[in-house]
Chain A
């Protein structure tokens, strides 16, 4: 029994350390966003800054039109993307999970194939911009995310085929239910954990996506919040690493200060933090069921 206790302590200690490693940077982020700019440069980042200030948030507030717009874009693409993505994934995964589906192996292989190979950046870009003419549209921020989720489809398929007994489906069929009715009245309600999990992953994916914005969007009107943040940070990085003549500091003068960058990051994470607890219980369950048995 005693060794067991020791084990417990060791495990707890490790977990506490891991938790601290996750929480500490986050706390630091919040306090630095509330630190006076001069204090950051002078004394460095600290959990208990010598001079507090909300000037960073005031700055953001003054810029609120672009920030609100960016929030609007992010929320829109997240909601639309998650809903549509979930629908497409489930609708594709369900037939793949059914043993009596013709060409099941081939279709599964095609889905699996997209996990290993993709068209590469330039061809993808050309297809989206020239064939579909999506450059600088909201669609460019949504569609690419919908097409690259082979992993999610396989996850949902495994859940369907392992957790939903075939006899239930057969009995519904005998009772006269159509395929579609079976899907949305029996399969979907039984699959909430996996759907919530995939939903959360899609949400996080869309919320954090900046890459599509980076390559498909040049209009500031369409910047999402992560895109805005990423651009700001890379601009700063660029200026630090490149010497573009005597103009460096003029250019730098237009960039936000340390504390503002932190405040922007806080603004970027906050909403997702609020959503997370509601998904969490499904998240753990869905992931373990979908992954381990699959």
Chain B
């Protein structure tokens, strides 16, 4: 009994200290913001601070210290602050960010994303509302992006993250090897829908034994998925979606829609005709490596301007493409990748000034995105950049889509020079989901989502790649319902309605 009491006391103390810590820093945040006036005032006369910025890393980052030093030279003179770059591998992201936010470590800017619990981070009070800070210290950010994207990250009426400027929408279609298309003089101009691709596949199947006409880009980017996604908004996890054509905010069960059934049936037809690689459901290889190995013609993918050039680089073959849907911006278009200020920050106003630089200062943004000129890249005469001579692999690889205003950065050789202009146009032309900005908080139905996800893992790839008989959709649906799909959909609808009311939709 005595031991129990001690344990209880200890845990209460721990909880209390955590709460106190949380209150402490949010007080800091609150009292600090009214201090300065105007974006430049209060910056140069105050003492120098160090700002920590955490972001997702996927490649080699061994030169991050050198880049950081160069960035600091600029930020020191402009906002009297230095930056500490903290790349976190995507593999460790969820774990480390959870721990960082639970603790009190210095952290001033953090990449957040609806893929990585954005809404629950806000619900737990781990991120600061940014509206006032943005107004005071970074008024220019608003002008760098369309207002629906700027406001598309709001939760409960406040902005908690600033979207990075990138291709916020996507259109869907197929990339394929240009040499094979030319060799058999296949005319792609007649291909307007996914259904039209059948004849292309037939030709390749007849004339190129050993090459599968169609593979999947990844295990989640299944054949059918790439065909039905442009017509729906998956609202995060596809468990309960809205149909874009209906233009209202009614959450429906994807499996019961005609779109889903038709596309799965089509995938099955192709699979049975031998158009789709036969072990497509189990292969661990990405579509691009299968093309690279000479095993496939191409794959469906979500695309953006410059996508062919990008895939050509990855596969080693010149790639051509057919775009078979209009560009769409789904609910996570804005909240897909954002920069937020966590409650850990002791200098939220300075963090906001740094954020402002990422949207307005080409020098800072280029350093961050591309590294140091002469060391990580050199400029060509036409304004594009390339690796310096003799350098085969870069020692600074930043995934620039996650942060800042990418339209300020140099374009790599091999990519269209006015790629950013095209991307801007692409974004503007895109069909916008009525749920743009909605981010589902799965916490209230955690158990159901976990159970449903298991069912999805069991059936999704098999059915959507054509490897399984579409008759199984029934069974799939029943099991999802048994796992609590209806409850998830109801919760999603509830949150969506609340969101719509709060945002005046």
Q: Which residues of A contact B (CB under 8 A)?
A: 38, 41-42, 62, 65-66, 121-123, 125-126, 129-130, 135, 214-215, 218, 220, 230-231, 233-235, 237-255, 257
Q: B61 an interface residue at 8 Å Cβ cutoff?
A: yes
| A246 engages B307 (CB within 8 Å) | yes
> Does chain A have a CB within 8 A of B431?
no
Across the interface, do A240 and B167 meet the contact criterion of CB distance under 8 Å?
no
Q: Which of A215, A239, A243, A248 has the most CB of B within 10 A?
A: A243
* Stretch of B243-251, B283-291, B486-494 at the chain-chain interface: B283-291
Interface 1/0 per residue, B202-222 and A, CB below 8 Å: 000000000000000111110
CB distance from B286 to the nearest CB of A (A): 6
Residue B310 at the A interface, CB < 8 A?
Answer: yes
Interface check B87, CB cutoff 8 A: yes
B91 at the interface (CB under 8 A from A): yes
Check A125–B103 contact: CB distance below 8 A. yes
A245–B284 CB distance below 8 A: no
For this complex, 20 residue pairs linking A to B, each with C-beta atoms less than 8 Å apart, are A41-B289, A122-B98, A126-B102, A129-B103, A130-B103, A130-B104, A215-B92, A235-B90, A240-B286, A241-B218, A243-B218, A243-B302, A244-B115, A246-B167, A247-B401, A248-B218, A249-B310, A251-B59, A251-B399, A252-B288
Task: Indicate if the CB atoms of B96 and A245 lie closer than 8 Å.
Answer: no
Q: Residue on A with the closest CB to B218?
A: A240
With A246-B301, A248-B286 given, name 11 new contacts (CB 8 A).
A122-B102, A125-B99, A214-B91, A218-B96, A239-B58, A239-B286, A240-B218, A241-B219, A245-B336, A246-B170, A249-B311
Give the one of A122, A244, A257 with max B CB within 10 A: A244
Bound Cα distance from A239 to B303, whole angstroms: 17
- Contact string against A for B residues 163-183, beta-carbon threshold 8 Å, 1 for contact and 0 otherwise: 000010010000000000000
Compute how far the CA of A257 lies from the CA of B288 in the bound complex, rounded to whole angstroms. Answer: 12
On whether the beta carbons of A245 and B167 are closer than 8 Å, the reply is yes
- Rounded to whole Å, the gap between the CB of A62 and the closest CB of chain B is 8
List 8 A-B pairs, minimum CB-CB distance, nearest first: A234-B91, A254-B59, A41-B293, A246-B304, A249-B314, A231-B89, A251-B58, A42-B293
Partner of B92, one of A65, A214, A243, A248: A214
- Whether the Cβ atoms of A42 and B295 lie closer than 8 Å is yes
Interface residues of B in 228-271 (CB under 8 A from A): none
List chain A residues, Cβ under 8 A from B27: none
Considering the chains assembled together, what is the distance between the CA atoms of A137 and B278 in angstroms?
A: 49
Q: Of A122, A123, A239, A247, which is in contact with the most chain B CB atoms at under 10 Å from its CB?
A: A247
Do the beta carbons of B61 and A220 come within 8 Å of each other?
Answer: yes
- A126–B99 Cα distance when bound, in Å, is 8
Q: Which B residues touch A125, using CB under 8 A? A: 99, 102-103
With known contacts A41-B289, A235-B58, A126–B401 Cβ distance under 8 A: no
Chain B 86-122, CB-CB to A under 8 Å as 1, else 0, gives 1111111001101100111100000000010000000
A-side contacts of B92, CB under 8 Å: 214-215, 231, 234
Q: How far is the CB of A258 from the nearest CB of chain B, in Å?
A: 8
- Which A residues lie within 8 Å of B292 (CB)? 38, 41
Q: Which residues of A contact B221 (CB under 8 A)?
A: 243, 248
- What separation, in Å, do the CA atoms of A99 and B426 have in the docked complex? 80
Once bound together, how far apart are the Cα atoms of A41 and B294, in whole Å?
9
Contacts of A233 in B (CB 8 A): 91
Instruction: Kindly state whether residue B44 has any CB partner on chain A within 8 Å.
Output: no
**CA of A41 to CA of B170, assembled, Å:** 29
In the docked arrangement, what's the CA distance between A257 and B14, Å?
Answer: 45
Known pairs A214-B92, A218-B88, A245-B302; A254 contacts B58 (CB<8 A): yes
CB distance from B434 to the nearest CB of A (A): 20
Is B60 interfacial (CB 8 A cutoff)?
A: yes
A244 to B102, CA, bound (A): 26
Residues of A within 8 A of B286 (CB): 239-240, 248-249, 252
CA distance A245 to B229 in the complex (A): 12
Q: Is the C-beta of B458 less than 8 angstroms from some C-beta in chain A?
A: no
B105 and A130 contact, CB distance less than 8 A: yes
Q: A235-B91, A240-B286, A249-B314 are in contact. Are A66 and B102 (CB under 8 A)?
A: no
Structural contact, B59 and A255, CB atoms closer than 8 A: yes
- Chain B residue contacts of A251, Cβ below 8 A: 58-59, 399
A135–B61 CA distance with the chains assembled, in angstroms: 19
Contacts of A130 in B (CB 8 A): 103-105
B294–A38 contact, CB under 8 A? yes
| A218-B99 contact in complex given A240-B218, A246-B170, A251-B399, C-beta closer than 8 Å | no
Q: Give Cα A255 to B397, complex, Å.
A: 11
> What residues of A have a CB within 8 angstroms of the CB of B98 in the complex?
122
> What's the minimum C-beta distance from B436 to chain A, rounded to whole angstroms?
15
Decide yes or no whether B446 CB sits under 8 A from chain A: no
| Residues of the B chain whose Cβ atoms lie less than 8 Å from the Cβ of A62 | 393
- Establish whether residues A242 and B105, one from each chain, have CB atoms under 8 Å apart when the complex forms: no
Cα distance A239–B218 in the bound complex, in angstroms: 8
Is B62 an interface residue when CB atoms closer than 8 A count as contact?
yes
Q: Does B313 contact A (CB under 8 A)?
A: yes
Q: In whole angstroms, what is the CA distance A135 to B88 when docked? A: 14
CA distance A216 to B45 in the complex (A): 36
Pick the residue among B60, B103, B290, B310 that contacts A41 (CB under 8 A).
B290
A62 to B393 Cα, complex, angstroms = 10
Point out the residues of chain A lying under 8 angstroms from B62, CB to CB: 65-66, 220
Q: Choose one: A220, A231, A243, A250; the contact of B91 (CB below 8 Å).
A: A231
Chain A min CB distance to B423 (Å): 11
- CA–CA, A233 and B401, complex, Å: 22
Asked if A126 and B103 make an inter-chain contact with CB atoms under 8 angstroms apart, the answer reads yes
Which residues of B are found within 8 Å of A38, using beta-carbon distances?
A: 292-294
B99 partner residues in chain A, CB cutoff 8 A: 121-122, 125, 129, 215
* Residues of the B chain whose Cβ atoms lie less than 8 Å from the Cβ of A239: 58, 90, 218, 286
Tell me if A242 and B86 are in contact (CB < 8 A).
Answer: no
> Once bound together, how far apart are the Cα atoms of A181 and B273, in whole Å?
82
Bound-state CA distance A66–B60 (Å) is 10
Min CB gap A68→B, angstroms: 13
Q: State which of A214, A244, A257 has its C-beta within 8 Å of the C-beta of B95.
A: A214
Question: A residues within 8 A CB of B401?
Answer: 245, 247
A247 to B168, CA, bound (A): 11
B302 touches A246 (CB 8 A): yes
Contacts of B307 in A (CB 8 A): 246
